[in-house]
A and B are shown apart, each in its own frame.
Chain A
Amino acid sequence: MSDVKTPEIGAAGWARWAWRQLTSMRVALLLLLALAVAAVPGSIFPQQPQDPVAVAEYVRDNPTLAPWLERLGFFDVYASPWFAAVYLLLFTSLVGCILPRMRKHARALRTPPPRTPRRLERFPAHSREETELDVATVLDRAERHLRGSGPWPTYRVTRLDDDGVAASVSAERGYLRETGNLLFHTALVGVLVCLVVGDFTHYRGQAVVVEGRGFANSRLAYDSFEAGRGFRPESLVPFRITLDRFESTFDPATLLARDFTAEVTVDEPGREERAGTIKVNHPLSVGGAKIYLMGNGYAPQIEVHDAAGELAFSGPVLFLPQDTVYSSQGVVKVPDVTSGPQIGLVGYLLPTAVEEPAGFWRSVHPLPLDPALVLSVWTGDLGLDAGLPQNVYELDEEGMTQVTEQTAAGERPRTVVVRPGQTVDLPEGLGTVTLGEELPRFVALDLRHDPTLTVILVFALAAILGLGLSLFTPRRRVWVRARHTPEGTTVVEVAALARGDDPGLEAEVDRVRLAIAGQEEER
């Protein structure tokens, strides 16, 4: 602190001062606490990367507060400049702290244990007794005991001739404590580096696949694709995956899901076609990436013939499950009619449909025991010609009118109920709709590639190993001094010192005493 008084401290002086502050334990501690506090808002406010829909809702519901939160980065805390500032400062402080300690530790590993202190009786663990043994025997036994019989010595031991009359043994153990501490902190830096490299090189794609169909590993085949800045499209291995079958089982009593299994065929270039399964918790590894099963549902085969009797639509349509009994919502958009307005069909697929009371349909089981498609009919302009991207699961009601009917209860939307294999007339002579005999399933697959996975795991495990070593390795120094007395006996003094708390220190002194007396403990 003396530099502060000098008037011309200079930029270098300030830098040195700032560096010393940053690498001090106190600042590291404050940064740690700041990191904990900074992480909390991300669990309170909805986060853009995790749940953009929730963020949009929050912004709608809190029009005054939300713009401020937005500006301050509260909707993406973990990518915000202030969160980055805290952890970057913390890691700078950490590196600045461990580098000098590594140098110091490397020196300590080469230095023999310190000289035996003059007065051993002032140490917390101490014993003194007289024996008939001579000085050399005492010290030999002490040295043998302290080195231990393991593959490497428990204690590092040096033998010292103190002042011609007395001789002593100085021993030290627990270098692993600092080694572990440094390993832990270095491994944390490794984890951070892996996070950055992983973010730079990863890619991730999502695809929805219907039974009997497949997809290829190319950017265009995915419904959504996202990659780090270091990603090269050429690096995608051009494999192909076909969904052969999807099976699900449910608890018969509670109807809660018990198992989802997707049976697939994998076609990798240069390899034979092979079968694979993807389950929740059991991703499939293909072409350096992993494929996860993230969702499933029904994709009924639907055909629509227009008023002229021409086939206007044919194909599987994804119906997204809304609850545990798979009441699934979907939309059929039929733009290509021969003449007249375009048709939109909106409604539910009910795997086990029950009508109760009349006019109200619901599903009572997630498996297709008695499926029905319950649709309401819209006509008009689907808005597909505007060239704007549209949500395939929603109908743009802007240019559409719902077909209704007069009932005793007033004007009600007209619904059409279709069973598998049936063809049903659409109202107002719009045409017919047909539901296929089979009810194909679809799966939502998530494919991810992150080259750092193995390395980050190694660093994480190294961190835990280092942590265990640094917290539980006892760091002790033991001294044994033997002095020949004029009466022909030998006075033996044993003392021990530990760094930090060490409840085993007294016991250590006792073991050394016993070893010198020739009563080595049975182990």
Chain B
Amino acid sequence: MNIAEMSTMLVWGAATAYAIALVSFTMLLARKADAGVAARQAAVVGAGAPAPGAADLDPASPTPGRAKAEGIARSTVLVGLALHAGAVVTRGIAAGRAPWANLYEFVLVGALVAVLVLVALERRRTIPFLGTAVMGIVVLFLAVAQVNFFVPADGVQPALQSYWLVIHVGVAVIATGVFTVGFVTSVLQLLRAGRARGGALASPRWGWLATTPGVGALESLAFRLNAVGFVLWSFTLVAGAIWAEHAWGRYWGWDPKEVWTFVIWVVYAGYLHARTTRGWAGARAAWLVVVAYVCVIINFTLVNLLFPGLHTYAT
């Protein structure tokens, strides 16, 4: 087995570990939902008396089954992360350059950043929804990347031989990873706010929502993530313009990739403004995060694959 094949093996290993983590996080979510329902029933029965099951609403209180699922989830994420990092490093060694020069590698490294952000956020306490969603997206990304975008590890054409590849694409990958977790947090915020309004989201099926942090805390976390992502994205945009000036002789030329990088930047800028605008703060602003993240996904899938432009070597 050569080093390039080893990288591919490690990717599948990481995806497997993440899949196990995904299942564990989901079980954790289900248990929490059950606990939530039990607590409410107990509260109804007890009518005024302290509800015996209410303590379960506190995410810190351990029950045997939950502790086990939580332990498996947390440890498999770390195992997956180690394998994933190994896959990225071996890929770089096999290609003899920074491992983010094409769509396959972009997705591979972007997913790694998303997992790193997840581990950082869940350092002190487990947020099962965040774990479930991020693991789900990452497993999907890794599988799609392996099956649809895979290209053998190789050197790059002269246009890509620049330290700007490391800076521009590297920062873009990190920003995408951060945006991914920011997006998940905003979705969670929307669900949580929807539950507070009643309707389908208030049904017992969505009971686990009650165990997540409150709308305010989620909004503030989503803002911090998206703000960091926005600064990184601004940097991606400027670094890309500098590189374009070196390679193509103009810093801005409305290439499809440039157009969508700009659109993403403007929508996230819109989000930052919406947060402080009356009538837009809260749910509407969170919807803008969803729109912006959809643009991020379009930017590195549809734009690469469908629109001809100077960035086509990214596929």
CB contacts (< 8 Å) of A15 on chain B: these are: none
Q: Is the CB of A279 within 8 A of B158?
A: yes
Q: Is the CB of B270 within 8 A of A43?
A: no
CB contacts (< 8 Å) of A369 on chain B: these are: none
CB contacts (< 8 Å) of A95 on chain B: these are: none
Say if the beta carbon of B39 comes within 8 Å of chain A.
no
CB proximity of A186 to chain B, nearest CB, Å: 15
Q: Is the CB of B158 within 8 A of A468?
A: no
Q: Is the CB of A464 within 8 A of B238?
A: yes
Q: Is the CB of A36 within 8 A of B159?
A: no
CB contacts (< 8 Å) of B196 on chain A: these are: none
Residue of A nearest to B220 (CB): A501
CB contacts (< 8 Å) of B241 on chain A: these are: 460
CB proximity of B277 to chain A, nearest CB, Å: 5
CB contacts (< 8 Å) of B219 on chain A: these are: 501
Query: With A26-B279, A281-B161, A464-B234 in contact, is A40–B154 under 8 Å at CB?
Result: no
Query: With A44-B307, A464-B234, A467-B234 in contact, is A28–B223 under 8 Å at CB?
Result: no
Q: Is the CB of A453 within 8 A of B245?
A: yes
Q: In this complex, which of B223, B238, B303 has the most chain A Cβ atoms within 10 angstroms of its Cβ? A: B238
**Per-position contact with B for A40-59: 1 when CB-CB < 8 Å, else 0?**
10111001011100100000
Q: Is the CB of A282 within 8 A of B246?
A: yes
Say if the beta carbon of B206 comes within 8 Å of chain A.
no
CB contacts (< 8 Å) of B154 on chain A: these are: 251, 254, 256
Residue of B nearest to A198 (CB): B251
Which candidate, A257-265, A403-411, A482-490, is the interface stretch facing chain B? A257-265
CB proximity of B103 to chain A, nearest CB, Å: 17
CB contacts (< 8 Å) of A26 on chain B: these are: 277-280
Q: State which residues 52-103 of A face B: CB under 8 Å.
A: 54, 77-78
Q: Is the CB of A29 within 8 A of B270?
A: yes
Which candidate, B23-31, B66-74, B78-86, B261-269, is the interface stretch facing chain A? B261-269
CB proximity of B269 to chain A, nearest CB, Å: 6
Say if the beta carbon of B224 comes within 8 Å of chain A.
yes
- Residue tally, chain A, CB below 8 Å to B: 52
CB proximity of A423 to chain B, nearest CB, Å: 37
Report the separation of the CA atoms of residues A461 and B231 in the bound assembly, to the nearest whole angstrom.
11
Q: State which residues 422-461 of A face B: CB under 8 Å.
A: 446, 448, 453, 456-457, 460-461
Report the separation of the CA atoms of residues A383 and B100 in the bound assembly, to the nearest whole angstrom.
52
Say if the beta carbon of A33 comes within 8 Å of chain B.
yes
Q: In this complex, which of A28, A43, A54, A448 has the most chain B Cβ atoms within 10 angstroms of its Cβ? A: A43
CB contacts (< 8 Å) of A260 on chain B: these are: 158
Q: Is the CB of B256 within 8 A of A43?
A: yes
Q: Is the CB of A47 within 8 A of B254?
A: yes
CB proximity of A125 to chain B, nearest CB, Å: 15
Residue of B nearest to A468 (CB): B231
CB proximity of B267 to chain A, nearest CB, Å: 5
CB contacts (< 8 Å) of B272 on chain A: these are: 471
Q: Is the CB of B224 within 8 A of A501?
A: yes
- Residue tally, chain B, CB below 8 Å to A: 54
Say if the beta carbon of B44 comes within 8 Å of chain A.
no
Q: Is the CB of B249 within 8 A of A259?
A: no
CB proximity of B183 to chain A, nearest CB, Å: 17
CB contacts (< 8 Å) of B269 on chain A: these are: 32
Q: When the two chains form the complex, which single residue of A25, A204, A259, A279 contacts B273, counting CB atoms closer than 8 Å?
A: A25
Q: Is the CB of A281 within 8 A of B246?
A: yes
Q: Is the CB of B242 within 8 A of A457?
A: yes
**Per-position contact with B for A469-509: 1 when CB-CB < 8 Å, else 0?**
00110000000000000000000000000000101000000
CB proximity of A40 to chain B, nearest CB, Å: 6
Q: State which residues 253-300 of B face A: CB under 8 Å.
A: 253-256, 259-260, 262-263, 266-267, 269-270, 272-274, 276-280, 295
Say if the beta carbon of A283 comes within 8 Å of chain B.
yes
Residue of A nearest to B272 (CB): A471
Report the separation of the CA atoms of residues A42 and B157 in the bound assembly, to the nearest whole angstrom.
27
Q: When the two chains form the complex, which single residue of B162, B164, B231, B263 contacts A471, counting CB atoms closer than 8 Å?
A: B231
CB contacts (< 8 Å) of B223 on chain A: these are: 501
CB contacts (< 8 Å) of A279 on chain B: these are: 158
Say if the beta carbon of A280 comes within 8 Å of chain B.
yes
Q: Is the CB of B231 within 8 A of A25?
A: no
Residue of A nearest to B162 (CB): A281
> Known contacts A43-B309, A47-B254, A501-B219; can you find 8 more A-B pairs with CB under 8 A?
A26-B278, A42-B259, A43-B307, A257-B158, A280-B159, A280-B247, A281-B164, A460-B238
- Provide 20 A-B residue pairs closer than 8 Å at the C-beta atoms, listed in order of the A residue: A25-B277, A26-B277, A26-B278, A26-B279, A26-B280, A36-B263, A42-B254, A43-B307, A43-B309, A78-B254, A204-B249, A280-B158, A281-B162, A281-B164, A292-B247, A294-B249, A463-B238, A467-B230, A501-B219, A503-B220
